[in-house]
């Protein structure tokens, strides 16, 4: 076998170094990059979860919190039944007076307290019924203002009927609900 020339030695060294770099890249760098990508994906998923529940400091999360605050401007946690009845009735009656509706019967809670469909919440539903006379604009003003009532759960029923003598006067029957602790 012939003695290797200097050029052949350099080619073998460069080839061995290249093979070593390829092996290092295949067994160390590529798996490390794949692991980093997996971690980044997990981090992105967790940030998305935080943004969905409103616990992120990102600008998008702040905008979402602001939008939710406009949708639900006021909310109070439900109290025991007796206290919730009083708080809800006072707030509702104040809104009815502010809208200018004349009540023909005072607001009355239904005697039966209905449990919330989701039993795990430990809440029940109180229904408040009222009826009165008003103009159409006053009824719409009341509906628009109801979402500001921190004790309101939902408007269950609303009936508007034109008055028999005066078409401008409308008879209003409204059933609204609130939640209370069981």
The CATH number for 91's domain is: 3.30.70.60
Domain hosting residue 32, numbered range:
6-71
Q: Where is 92: in which H helix or E strand?
A: helix 81-99
Percent of the chain with pLDDT over 90: 20
User: Does residue 54 carry a pLDDT above 80?
Assistant: no
Q: Do both 67 and 104 map to the same domain?
A: no
User: Does residue 55 carry a pLDDT above 60?
Assistant: no
User: Does residue 69 carry a pLDDT above 70?
Assistant: no
105-145 tens-digit pLDDT: 888 887 767 776 666 667 788 889 999 999 988 989 988 88
User: Does residue 86 carry a pLDDT above 60?
Assistant: yes
Q: Which two tokens stand for residue 126?
A: 């109180």
Q: How far is CA 158 from the centre of its chain?
A: 25
DSSP state for residue 76 in the 8-state scheme: -
CA distance 107 to 91: 12
Read off the pLDDT of each residue in 132-160 and give the average, rounded to a whole number: 88
Which residue(s) pair with 94 in the sheet?
Answer: none
Q: Do both 24 and 106 map to the same domain?
A: no
* Strands of the chain, DSSP E: 102-109, 114-115, 123-134, 154-162, 170-181
With cut-offs at 50, 70 and 90, classify the pLDDT of residue 150. Answer: confident
Predicted local confidence at residue 64, as pLDDT: 66
Q: Do both 151 and 67 map to the same domain?
A: no
Q: Do both 10 and 89 map to the same domain?
A: no
Q: Do both 51 and 125 map to the same domain?
A: no
Structurally, the chain folds into a number of domains equal to: 2
154 contacts 123 by C-beta, under 8 angstroms: no
Q: Do both 46 and 124 map to the same domain?
A: no
Q: Do both 46 and 104 map to the same domain?
A: no
Q: Do both 125 and 173 map to the same domain?
A: yes
Predicted local confidence at residue 71, as pLDDT: 57
pLDDT-wise least confident of 39-48, 69-78, 95-104? 69-78
pTM of the model: 0.56
CA distance 6 to 53: 68
CA distance 130 to 8: 101
Q: Do both 138 and 174 map to the same domain?
A: yes
Read off the pLDDT of each residue in 85-110 and give the average, rounded to a whole number: 87
Whether the CA torsion 19, 25, 28, 30 is positive or negative: it is: negative
Q: Name the more confident of 182 and 30.
A: 30
Within a domain: 129: yes
Q: Do both 98 and 170 map to the same domain?
A: yes
User: Does residue 1 carry a pLDDT above 60?
Assistant: no
Return all residues near 147 (Cβ < 8 A) that are at least 6 apart. Answer: 72, 73
With cut-offs at 50, 70 and 90, classify the pLDDT of residue 88. Answer: confident
Read off the pLDDT of each residue in 25-44 and give the average, rounded to a whole number: 90
């Amino acid at each position: 076998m012939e003695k290797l020339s200097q050029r052949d030695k350099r080619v073998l060294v460069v080839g061995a170094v290249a093979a070593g770099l390829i092996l290092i890249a295949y067994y160390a760098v590529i798996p490390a990059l794949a692991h980093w990508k997996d971690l980044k994906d997990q981090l992105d998923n967790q940030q998305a979860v935080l943004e969905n529940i409103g616990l992120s400091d990102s600008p998008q999360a702040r905008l979402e919190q602001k939008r939710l605050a406009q949708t639900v401007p006021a909310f109070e946690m439900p109290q025991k039944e007796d206290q919730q009845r009083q708080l809800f009735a006072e707030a509702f009656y104040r809104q009815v007076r502010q809208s200018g509706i004349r009540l023909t019967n005072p607001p009355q809670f239904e005697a039966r307290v209905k449990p919330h469909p989701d039993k795990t919440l430990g809440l029940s539903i109180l229904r408040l019924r009222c009826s009165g006379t008003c103009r159409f604009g006053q009824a719409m003003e009341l509906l628009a203002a109801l979402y500001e009532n921190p004790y309101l759960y939902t408007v269950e029923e609303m009936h508007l009927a034109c008055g028999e003598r005066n078409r401008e006067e409308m008879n209003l029957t409204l059933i609204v609900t609130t939640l209370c602790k069981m």
